[in-house]
Structure 1
Amino acid sequence: MAEAPPVSGSLVEQLTTEKYECMVCCELVRVTAPVWSCQSCYHVFHLNCIKKWARSPASQADGQSGWRCPACQNVSAHVPNTYTCFCGKVKNPEWSRNEIPHSCGEVCRKKQPGQDCPHSCNLLCHPGPCPPCPAFTTKTCECGRTRHTVRCGQAVSVHCSNPCENVLNCGQHHCAELCHGGQCQPCRIILNQVCYCGNTSRDVLCGTDIGKSDGFGDFGCLKICGKDLKCGNHMCSQVCHPQPCQPCPRLPHLVRYCPCGQTPLSQLLELGSSGRKTCMDPVPTCGKVCGKPLSCGSSDFIHTCEKLCHEGDCGPCSRTSVISCRCSFRTKELPCTSLKSEGMTGKGHEETFWGKDATFMCDKRCSKKRLCGRHKCNEICCVDKEHKCPLICGRKLRCGLHRCEEPCHRGNCQTCWQASFDELSCHCGASVIYPPVPCGTRPPVCTQTCARVHDCDHPVYHSCHSEEKCPPCTFLTQKWCMGKHELRSNIPCHLVDISCGLPCSAALPCGMHRCQRLCHKGECLVDEACKQPCTTPRADCGHPCMAPCHLSSPCPVTACKAKIELQCECGRRKEIMICSEASSTYQRIAAISMASKITDMQLGDSVEISKLITKKEIHQARLECDEECSALERKKQLAEAFHISDDSDPFNVRSSASKFSDSLKEDARKDLKFVSDVEKEMKALVEAVDKGKNNKKSHFFPPMNRDHRRIIHELAQVYGLESVSYDSEPKRNVVVIAVRGKSVCPTTTLTSVLEKEVQARPPPPIPHHRQSDKNPGSNNLQKIEKEAVIDYFDVQD
């Protein structure tokens, strides 16, 4: 939006004190800097700044040649190149401390643009617009009868209170309106006019068809005249005309040819034809074929009369003619004798055409849009070119109260013509719009504070308004959440239902469960029963019932679906099973064991079977150890015998490296130094969290490529760190966060694992023992030790 033009006095003060800013560079305009002033909005710019602006693409005017002023958007054709004073008379004016900056110090002499004022500005060369001319002049009123003294240059028309009395367009009457500008309205007096032939009359405004009267009539009615000619035998066949009727065309001195026009009457008189004395005598015929063109036929094939030379109209044509419908969509062939009966039915009237003008109406409906663009023409055999819409628009106007009564049209409707003669004021009555008030006018803008009654007693900060509801109160208050869990602060006053985001935890009607919904409004359960799982422990296994809540009825007998973990006696094998399946498995094993115990009882031995049927034993059901368990147990015993541990074995790399994936190892081998630096940073981060007071601590890794970021993300999982990537390429970085209790350093680093894999594994040591003849069992012991060592390394592999 363009800024308001500056006032001359304010411009002079700001330019003199060097407080005026150039709108292009936003720098202060110095008194010695070359400037340029817009002649439309009078803003002042640096000359170099306005040159750069005029050549920039942002200053180009859309669809026009030239550049736009940065302030008022006025288009100028030429780019300023010279530094002139404000009045434009002096180039490169020198600044004097006693004069206005950038002024020549002479009288302005500029004239007011667009005003009929002969005087020029008498102020010294100044910025901004010139003041209005202070001189007075005498102007004549619009009717020219009175003279009035008005301010010079004011483009106002002077009106007096006398009637205009200028001669109207009819040349007979005078204008009765009060003194007005422009041309007078046409004469409104109604006169009755008669046509030239005297058969038709009409009522028209005075001044219509001035100068066409012949003393007997004023207009032509387009009908046959029908007046009696001077011969007294025939009537005028011309169309209604102002001049006297022509002489009878059948007078002997006017007829010089036979009726067909092919033979002069002089030749027929020489051949013995009788001469004509009056207009009633018949015209001699020549005996030839008439040959006059008939009205039927077409432009390509003209039909002619086939009779012998005759008087009067030519008879009917014996040929056929091809005629088109009104819209030229269809054609049909008809005998020329029937063309008279084929009429054209138009809009409320019927016309008959002959010959080339013969036409008919087809059944095709026009599918073109009317001028309104909303409705189709839909006329049968349409010949309308404009397709004006006869319907009423009927759309609601901008006022929202009335509808458009104009014919259906394109574009927006006109402004509502209705007006109110009541005062329109704001809600508090401080601002008023006086009548007449156009329909749809909004109440005036009021700057007073809203005086309506509000729901709260907080201070009101919004102004008077015309809307029914006031804006919501935004005063910050303290309010309880819907579940009364906590008192929330900084809550706007208009907010009513506030959720703290915590679980409701209200006791449900069942007395066993609590509401699991987040802090909510209203009752926890509305017209429905609790459907949370029952937590009553089962009698057989102790797991919860987990059936839908059944307050008054006992727990249903169903199979327990809880998952339990079974493991073998050594703890190597682990398996997740459903409680009911584990129980049935144990019962089957216990039945087999009890059967064997009963067999022992039959042999006379005592058996303890209480442990096979107690709940505790059922819960302690275990899996059976397999061969791998036995091999692992032998390895463990051998490691204890030889004092071998995972940390002391330099070749036990597999157990430590199992936590590192193959892809991580593959990427780490490409840049082992980078992996070593990352692991040092992660180790320091985890130790700092464990020793420090903060539960979380983060470390920022600088931007790097995708492969290095992937290594950091995978190592973070091993160390129990949270890793997040930020920013976009090529500045994408990684931030890792250590959490106390979750982040831990592994026993073996990835760097050490890779270094151990590079080193060649030496063969395992084999212990040697001195054989003794006195101890025949030593050979067996040495054999057992060798087998144990071999089994140990087989398990390792």
Structure 2
Amino acid sequence: MHSQPKPKNPWNQNIQNQPKKNKNKNLPTPGEVKFKEAQAKLQASVKKHVKEYESSSDEEELESATLIDSILKNYRTGNGEEESIEKTQTFLQETFLSGAATCLICISRVRKEDQIWTCINCYGYFHLMCVQRWSKDTVTQLKHAAQEQIIVKQQKLCWCCPKCRHEYDPRDIPLKYLCFCAKTENPKYDPYIAPHSCGQICKKPLKPDCGHHCLLLCHPGPCPPCPVTVNVSCYCGRQQPRTQRCSKKEWSCNDVCNKPLECSKHNCPNPCHPGECQPCPKKSIQKCICKAQQKLRECASPVWQCDKVCNKPLECGYHKCEEICHEGVCDMCPLAKLRTCPCGKTTYQLPCTQETPTCPDTCDKVLDCGVHGCNLKCHREKCGVCLETVEKSCRCGQHTKEVQCYKPYLCEVKCKQMKDCNKHPCNRKCCDGNCPPCEKPCGKTLNCGNHKCSSVCHRGPCYPCSETDIVTCKCGATKISVPCGRKHKTKPPKCAKLCLTPPDCHHEKRDSHRCHFGDCPPCRQICNKIHNKCSHSCPVTCHSAVLVKIEGQKASMPWEQVKPQVVRRELTCPDCVVKVPVTCLGEHETSDWPCYLSKPSSCHRQCGRILDCGNHRCTWLCHTVKDAPDNIKAGTNCEKCENSCSKQRPEGCVHTCPKPCHPGGCPPCKIMIRIKCHCGLNQPYVTCVDWLNEEKKVELQTCGNQCPKNFWDWFVHVSDVQTLWKLQPTYLIVQAVYFLGALLTLSHALINKGRLPYLWIGIILHGIYVEVITYFLPDIDNFWHSQTPIIFVGRRLPLHIMLLYPCFIYNAQIAAAKLKLPKWSEPFLIGLLVVLIDLPYDIVSVKYVHWTWHDTDPNLFDRHYWVPWNSYFFHTTFAAGFTFWFHFLREKICDSGDRWAADKSIFKEIICTIVPAVLGFPTGVIGFILIYHPLHDLYNIHSEVTYIILFVICLLISWTGERLTAHREGAKNVVGKLHWSSYLTLFHLIVHYATFMLVLIFFNPEDEVSIGLKEPIGPCDEYVPLQTVFGLTLKKRKWLCPTDYNEDYFDFHCLPNKKIPSNGSMWYTICGTPFENRAEYIAIIGLICLMAVGVFGNLYFRSYGDAVFVKKVVKDKNELKKKRK
């Protein structure tokens, strides 16, 4: 038996139903046939839509320039100015652009052959049939709405332009297709004139009406200004007439008008002007109507009334005239005239001293209801409400009820009538038929398909969308405005400008061609690229951006026909074939080779060039010689002579020549040496040879930075904030706090006015004077600030230090003033409050190296957390001295009776501001002399004890004054109210204490880097004498010894290699040191903050409040004395 082959399909039972393979490979498969059919349908649909696509492709483009010139030719020959017609010319240009004219009703383009209607107000186009349907529908809707109203009202019927809403009468519904000038009916399209135009002269009356007519050919849009020339005089008429355009016939000669004004005293001072002259701008002394008062008033209004009551005795002798400022004789007494009783029925002629009696009759006055009369007896009071019971109908008329006459009656029936929109019911209770208009938004999608109607609910069609879209050319220079919804159906306008697309190739610009969409034509310029391997340029056509076909791609689907892909690529330049001479490496022989094959090689001869030393020749084989002066001497890459140089060095140079054997003189010595600049702040490195040049020494000693000896740089210097933030972030935070404090305290002063602004300015002047004078007194010049963004006076005085004084003294003064202390007691309390505010600033800022103290100054030896006790002594005495003189001088000089009210004389206030700023310094020094120096210098009492003594003295004086105030006020001793401005100063105090607490918690002092002027560094064994007030001679180090100093809050660990600055340095860098016990610092600052909360909380909220600042008016002492008597 022969075995049968195994079938490929084991399930043979359904094999007859399977499609047979197409044996002819050229015939398409059923899938390919279906795909072709679908593809054909899709292409037919696309062609249909492309054919219906509304653009200018189905119409010839208008020759807009020619048409505009023909329309404007009569105007331009009228001897007029071109700019007068710009508006009309722009309208014509936009109208003639392809696809610009669109009917807003149907959102379709207005073709050249379509019948149109033009609005007389906005000059917009619309299809004639669209406007007819729009206007008739609008009028019909209005008529139906009027008929549906129960209460018939006279309503104006009109229809509006869909674009500008200009109203038209129903009789103005367009019935005919007219040209723009309305002279020709059904104008035929002519390609040589504007579409929808008759081609004749417009002749519309020009606006404003001047009697002339439009000279343009029949045109769309507004008529231009009148171009006719006329002879007219200027506004004042004094100049000879001159020729002007009718649209600009009014002109000014610019001479003074000089016409008499209404005051009959002065003439008009303005230049020649249109219309009536302005009122007289001058002022004069004028009396009122009653001649009792006179004042300086505008000359243009001489008649005026004062507010004084006449108060002259009347003829009756019992009453006085109560009229305000009148002329002539006073009228007779109004009570002496004929009088009636309150109800008006009985007449009396009585003396003016006798009151008018009531009559015995009924009042009978008509009540507020307008129907019934008052049934009370004649009375003087106002009649009451009507209490008659009547039967009333409700507002809608469906129900009746007996109610009191004065009460309205409304039923509970809801109106089911439709509102004016005919969509929503009224639903108002007891409606009288006059339903309110519908207030719901319409919300229908407009014809544009992008926006919804924003009007309230209405009948009829919605107004067209008022939005517009801009269609531009590729470069954006040419653009047209089309209604919303037409942007994607409008072909972009043709642009006459050159294409601005940057070239794809390496050339700077493309070949000139017009603006277009799509890819630019390929570049036809010569490549001219320089070959990478030579200096010749490529001579072929540009090939930097060439379209290249990429074939061999696989189809993603079986029926897909793969076409070559075209991509833009840059092709490399061909090899350079220019013949060039090629010389061997050692320049021994030369021959010609193609440029791309020209490769210099060695001829294998000895180089033979004389070496630089002048004594030997190069023995290397032929090689490239670099930097050779000629063909004989060796180059820089030839063999080097390795013998050392033994020639004598220049005078003053102690270094040996670094080069081997060489000819001629030795090269200049380039070894770097360190010198000191003129200002002494830097020690730059220079070469030895430059330092030996006497002419360059002065230049070399200039460090390149601005010299601090320059006045403006000395006076003010500005540094980069970002750099300072990286070095000392906490310093910038503290400065920001005091900038804020200065702003808040100044705001408080300006809000409360009076003397507070002078106080703020005086404190600033006091701070500047104290800080600056210390820099020039050697005995007290013992502290140095780190650099800040803005710093003054030789980089010694930061800006925030000047603003720190009002943050301390002003806040202390405002808080102390709330206690109403006596004048001899208040300055001592202010001194203590200033120290309370200053404590966290001094302790934290020194630890974070915001400034440094002199190291060995005996006056600074006694410290409290590195803060000298003298610093607290200084703040107490100087603040007390300033405030004492500020109030004392004012009491002696100024005339203001109230303590915080400003004086009438600003000059006196300025004196009382500047003098205390100066006297505060010597007064503070006296405090040192009386307490500190005798106790400390003579009896060696610790500075801490001396300050405690001062503290106790100030506290006792303040307490005594407070008790006297409390005794004086007695029962009036109640808590006063705070003005809202006091919360500004209170807010700054909170920010002040919180800032230093947060700095201690979140910042590390060892990360702080301080740069700037500091105590000069020098030898450790040089001392200078220090003379005290009582004749003692102490001594201190002349310089800061960087290897032996007591200021443990800084070191030099952050400097490169921890290198200590050299002797003589004043401008150098120091680094903060870590806390020995951070918790201790937090505890002491926390205790100070707690104490501040208690002190300032009681001063602000348990004192007499801001009543002391309420009286801001200027008062006189003599007036106050008279009132007291």
TM exceeds 0.5?
A: no
Shorter-chain TM-score range: under 0.3
Quick check: which one's helix share is greater?
2
TM-score (norm. length: structure 2):
0.18
Which structure has the higher relative contact order (CA within 8 Å, separation 6+)?
2
Larger Rg belongs to? 1
TM-score, length basis structure 1: 0.25
